[in-house]
Amino acid sequence: MLKSEKSTPFNLQVLYEDNHLIVVNKRVGDIVQGDKTGDAPLSEVVKQYLKEKYNKPGNVYLGVVHRLDRPTSGIVLFAKTSKALPRLNKLFSEGNTKKVYWAVVQKAPRNQKETLTHWLVRNPKQNKSYAHDKEVPNSKKAVLEYHFLKKLDNYYLLEIDLKTGRHHQIRAQLAAMGCHIKGDLKYGADRSNKDGGIHLHARSLELEHPVQKEIMTFVAPPPEDPVWNACL
């Protein structure tokens, strides 16, 4: 398996930065926050980037607002000030953000456009979520809307408007519909991608700036590979 290029302070893909926030395009394999692997998380890479850029002595403040799965690419937003962090946390927790994803799937969807509603049960030991059609014990409601965007040679591109933010939500819901994401072995894809990633990309994020109060939209280009390039 090829090792994908990880983000470093010197190759970080910064999409936007101001006094209160920084938005980066996460690479496949980057981990947003530290976990049991002990790998350097993206949050530390961004801190190091800011330290170098501004010659900051001592610790750099950075607040983690949301996460993306390790094999997924795309937009991750961090707070640069303690003023911005609680406001951003509130926007995300109350669903006052618009998150759009692109997914390359193995099978054509059943409709051009559809809203999917499932009840997800998370299994922490397997680090996996299971989608149910009806409410079951310990389940959380998961809602997304997909649009069919494009037929590729062997795959199909879907745009997903995420309505709720559950663990592995898009991966589990699309798999439940029979549209497995390219490379996502955990959720039923027939083979892995060479870089260990999956073809799921956090394409855009729209929200109100936590301090200036204006509506901002960020868009992240997908990774450079033949399949993603065919989507553009």
Distance CA 122, CA 112 (A): 29
* Rounded average pLDDT over 1-23: 89
- Catalytic residue (one of 69, 133, 161, 190): 69
Distance CA 122, CA 6 (A): 28
In this model, does residue 3 exceed pLDDT 70? no
What pLDDT is stored for residue 35 in this prediction? 78
DSSP of 119-183? EEEEETTTTEEEEESS--TT-EEEEEEEEEEEE-SS-EEEEEEESS--TTHHHHHHHHTT-PBTT
Q: What is the pLDDT of residue 2?
A: 54
pLDDT of residue 200: 98
pLDDT band at residue 196 under the 50/70/90 scheme:
very high
Token pair 């937009």 is found at 75
Question: Chain-wide mean pLDDT for the chain?
Answer: 96
Residue 14 clears pLDDT 90, i.e. is over it: yes
Reply yes or no on whether 69 is catalytic. yes
Task: Evaluate the CA torsion angle 50, 51, 54, 57 in order and state its sign.
Answer: positive
Yes or no: say if 131 and 143 are a contact pair by the CB < 8 Å rule: no
Give one DSSP letter per residue of 11-62, joined into a string: T--EEEE-SSEEEEEEPTT--SS--TT-PPPHHHHHHHHHHHHHT--SPPP-
Distance CA 68, CA 162 (A): 13
Measured CA to CA, the distance from residue 200 to residue 167 in angstroms comes to: 14
Q: Could you report how far apart the first and last alpha carbons of the chain are, in Å?
A: 26
Tens digit of pLDDT for each residue in 137-163?
999 999 999 999 999 999 999 999 999
pLDDT, tens digit, for every residue of 29-76? Answer: 999 988 777 888 999 999 999 999 999 999 999 999 999 999 999 999
Model confidence at 1: pLDDT above 50:
no
Taking the C-alpha atoms of residue 89 and residue 213, their distance in angstroms, rounded to an integer, is 15
pLDDT > 90: what percent of the chain?
94
User: Is a pLDDT exceeding 80 seen at residue 4?
Assistant: no
Q: What is the pTM of this model?
A: 0.96
Give the C-alpha separation, 124 to 147, whole Å.
30
Please say whether the beta carbons of 147 and 130 come within 8 A: no
pLDDT at 126: 95
User: ∠100-101-103 over CA atoms, to 5°?
Assistant: 155
The arithmetic mean of pLDDT across residues 78-95, rounded, is 97
pLDDT of 33 reads 86
Query: pLDDT digits over 166-176, tens only?
Result: 999 999 999 99
